[in-house]
Amino acid sequence: MEIAGIPTVEMLYADQANFFRNVALTNGCPNIRCVAVPRIGTPAEMVAQYYDKIVKALTDPLTAKEKESGLYSPPAPPRVLFEGTGDESQDFLQQTVLIENCRQCPIAKYTDGLPVIIPTEEKVAAMLTGTSHKATEQVVRPFGSPANPAFGMAETAPGALITYANQYSSTVEKVAVCAVMAGCKPQYMPAALAMAVLGGASTNCPGTSSMVATWVVVSGPYAKEIGMNPGHESMDIGNMANMTLGRVGCLMTVNFGGCITGAVRSDSGNPVHSVCFPEDADGLPQGWVGLNEESTYYDSTAKKNVNYTAKDSVIGKLGAQWFGMNWSTYPGYFRTMNTGQMGIARMLGVAGKPGNYNWMEYVLPRYIQAQTGVGGITFLLHSNLAQLMYQAGFKTKDSIYKWMWDNYFITVTQHYNTGLWEFPYDDGRAIEPTSGKSWNDLLKTDPNYKLHALGGSNYASNCVIIGDSFADEHYYLLPSGRPGVTSIDKWR
């Protein structure tokens, strides 16, 4: 059965097949059978397109090739990829492959599609002066991680190898190559290496694609050291450190993870549109701390999580699979709220009544209504909006997180009526942590059971980062929880 006007299932979902083949390759079943399943049409139309193929795939005897097993061990790539003139090297690095999912469009194999700096021996050697680590040293996790019995995970020691798609790993020199290609300066190398620990601009391909950028934030003294722009239009063009560090993560994603657009799906954000910006430490209200001091690392000797200090520099990554939401309405709305004028004052019911008001009371109900989910969020705020929160009584970031946790709820029925049930909760069979019941049992026995809408199971999974965007009363709200963070200083 064919549905008129719709391309073939094979054309639309070849990326899904690539996704599963790469997962199978990584997990020891390199030649798994894949059947593309359509997502468009009535149930009968969809089943008709794949039912016979599923039966055949399940019942046909395995071939000798399909019986092969074992974990995939990637061949070591050559250290020198190409020799030639500068122009010839540029042509080589910008060569393309035709990708079916892009309707046979050409996609770059080694770059983000833009010209790059050719990584010659001399340029890579100069880049390596930005770190004390040896070129041949592999990129590993600087800290271990505690045991997590709930997920069957044992404690890990520092030094675990960072792997990307298909078990590829990286060395300090390979990161330096990407840093040269991106246009970085040697003093940016510690941040580039920390970004490699976080998986580059994207985590590990394959994953879920997105049109939205991956957000990378630098917090701590290092940002000033290398001259990052924390102020006006920090996510726009112009600043070399911001721009090139955003790009180096993209090139790692392509070259370490093999995330070629349309061939292998990237994870938690579009790696080629990634942005890197510093937290605006000078814009923090009095008593507020930066992302560095809010973040922890695992001390394997003390067997506990320890907070970074104000002297420590870290890099954090926000998987931006979802849109950064912004309901700032028109210019002047937040600015005039405390005077009792204009739209937000009317929406908050304080029109004509000057005072110090909490603008998040306007934003968060709209966010929750749009999401109807549970989990942590990250606010990226202009310092002016942070000052308004301070004036409203929030003398620490932590007080904002607790307020969000204590005041915003949804019922389990509301949560059930979203798409966030079958997939993350094993079709409702998983245990809801605050009640101890399965999600299905909770829905049956207490359909009005309240769930914390913001923070999931812990208020501290919410986050506020102070950073400029493009206006003096602007914010982004990212439903991605708290950023994953790692140390920059470990790579100096």
Indicate if 292 and 365 belong to the same structural domain.
no
Instruction: Answer whether residue 3 shows pLDDT above 70.
Output: no
Please identify, among 288, 322, 356, the residue that sits at the C-terminal boundary of a domain.
322
Check residue 13 and give its pLDDT.
Answer: 42
Mean pLDDT (the chain) is 84
User: Residue 86 region, left (φ>0) first, then alpha (ψ -120 to 50), else beta?
Assistant: alpha
The domain total for the chain is: 3
* Cβ atoms of 189 and 176 closer than 8 Å: yes
Residue 128's pLDDT band, with cuts at 50, 70 and 90, is very high
The rounded distance, in Å, linking the Cα atoms of 232 and 212 is 21
Residue type for 413, please?
T
Domain assignment of residue 382, yes or no? yes
Average pLDDT over residues 112-133: 94
Domain assignment of residue 311, yes or no? yes
* Cβ atoms of 74 and 25 closer than 8 Å: no
Domain of 146 in residue numbering reads as 125-322
Indicate if 343 and 283 belong to the same structural domain.
no
Domain assignment of residue 279, yes or no? yes
The rounded distance, in Å, linking the Cα atoms of 305 and 148 is 13
Q: Which two tokens stand for residue 153?
A: 């995970």
Indicate if 302 and 375 belong to the same structural domain.
no
Please give the C-alpha separations between residue 261 and each of 96, 105, 215, in angstroms, as whole numbers. 11, 10, 19
Check residue 11 and give its pLDDT.
Answer: 39
Average pLDDT over residues 313-340: 76
Average pLDDT over residues 131-154: 88
Average pLDDT over residues 391-395: 97
Domain assignment of residue 144, yes or no? yes
Average pLDDT over residues 48-69: 90
Please identify, among 59, 77, 94, the residue that sits at the C-terminal boundary of a domain.
59
Average pLDDT over residues 376-385: 90
Residue of higher predicted confidence among 466 and 456? 466
Q: What is the pTM of this model?
A: 0.87
**Which residues sit opposite 465 in a β-bridge?**
380
**Which residues sit opposite 307 in a β-bridge?**
296
Indicate if 349 and 204 belong to the same structural domain.
no
Instruction: Answer whether residue 355 shows pLDDT above 60.
Output: yes
Indicate if 274 and 173 belong to the same structural domain.
yes
The rounded distance, in Å, linking the Cα atoms of 74 and 81 is 16
Indicate if 45 and 173 belong to the same structural domain.
no
Indicate if 347 and 277 belong to the same structural domain.
no
User: What's the CA dihedral at 343, 349, 353, 358 to 10 degrees?
Assistant: -80
Average pLDDT over residues 142-160: 83
Q: Among 229-238, 390-399, 447-456, which stretch is predicted with the lowest mean pLDDT?
A: 229-238
Q: Which two tokens stand for residue 368?
A: 């929750």
On the CB side of 444, how many CA atoms lie within 13 Å of its CA? 7
Question: Cα angle at 77 between 73 and 78, to 5 degrees?
Answer: 150
Check residue 390 and give its pLDDT.
Answer: 96
Instruction: Answer whether residue 468 shows pLDDT above 60.
Output: yes
The rounded distance, in Å, linking the Cα atoms of 9 and 222 is 49
Check residue 220 and give its pLDDT.
Answer: 97
Indicate if 303 and 432 belong to the same structural domain.
no
Average pLDDT over residues 108-127: 92
Residue of higher predicted confidence among 271 and 458? 458
Q: Which two tokens stand for residue 100?
A: 């079916």
Instruction: Answer whether residue 283 shows pLDDT above 80.
Output: yes
Instruction: Answer whether residue 321 shows pLDDT above 80.
Output: no
Domain assignment of residue 71, yes or no? no
Indicate if 414 and 380 belong to the same structural domain.
yes
Indicate if 267 and 381 belong to the same structural domain.
no
Indicate if 198 and 138 belong to the same structural domain.
yes
Indicate if 303 and 156 belong to the same structural domain.
yes
Domain assignment of residue 417, yes or no? yes
Check residue 314 and give its pLDDT.
Answer: 98
Q: Which two tokens stand for residue 309?
A: 């200090």
Domain assignment of residue 102, yes or no? no
Check residue 265 and give its pLDDT.
Answer: 52
Please give the C-alpha separations between residue 207 and each of 40, 44, 73, 324, in angstroms, as whole numbers. 21, 29, 20, 19
Please identify, among 274, 297, 322, the residue that sits at the C-terminal boundary of a domain.
322
Average pLDDT over residues 288-293: 97
